[in-house]
């Protein structure tokens, strides 16, 4: 069975600090996809990144970076120089490969608060 664990329930930082959100996953599939979504207080789930299981390259997008390590089944998300607008709940998720239903298995989310 697939499972995603986000051990950090809440994190609070001061603006400009770097922060890393942890995500550990379990799956028996050899092909799968990992995602991060941001959910601000407005409620919409905003897609941040999709990574397939064969691509272990780290990715950087502005202040955001992701570290995918199959050896530890982790897909961690780092925000550099955090800003108040980064305050949100962040969900890590896992899905089977395309061709099927692509159902997402979500972690429980990490609530990030960035204080001015």
Partner 1 sequence: DAMVIQNPRYQVTQFGKPVTLSCSQTLNHNVMYWYQQKSSQAPKLLFHYYDKDFNNEADTPDNFQSRRPNTSFCFLDIRSPGLGDAAMYLCATSRGRGQFFGPGTRLTVL
CA angle at 101 for the pair 61 and 30, rounded to the nearest 5°? 65
How distant, in Å, are the alpha carbons of 13, 93, 97, 103 from that of 49? 23, 10, 15, 16
Site mask for partner 1 (CB under 8 A), range 21-60, x = bound: ------------x-x-x----xxxxxx--x----------
Residue appearing with tokens 């991060």: 36
CB of 32 or CB of 114, closer to partner 1: 32
Least Cβ distance, residue 108 to partner 1 (angstroms): 5
Residue 88 · residue 101 · CB < 8 Å: no
Interaction mask 72-91, partner 1, x per CB under 8 A: -------------------x
- Under rule CB under 8 A, residue 103 binds partner 1: yes
């Amino acid at each position: 069975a697939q499972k995603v664990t986000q051990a950090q329930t809440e994190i609070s930082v001061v603006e400009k600090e770097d922060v890393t959100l942890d995500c550990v996953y379990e799956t028996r599939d050899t092909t799968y996809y990992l995602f991060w979504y941001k959910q601000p207080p407005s409620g919409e789930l905003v897609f941040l990144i999709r990574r397939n299981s064969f691509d272990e390259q780290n990715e950087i997008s502005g202040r955001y970076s992701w570290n995918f390590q199959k050896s530890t089944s982790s897909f961690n998300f780092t925000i550099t120089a955090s800003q108040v607008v980064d305050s949100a709940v962040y969900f890590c998720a896992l899905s089977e490969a395309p061709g099927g239903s692509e159902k997402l298995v979500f972690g429980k989310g990490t609530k990030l608060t960035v204080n001015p």
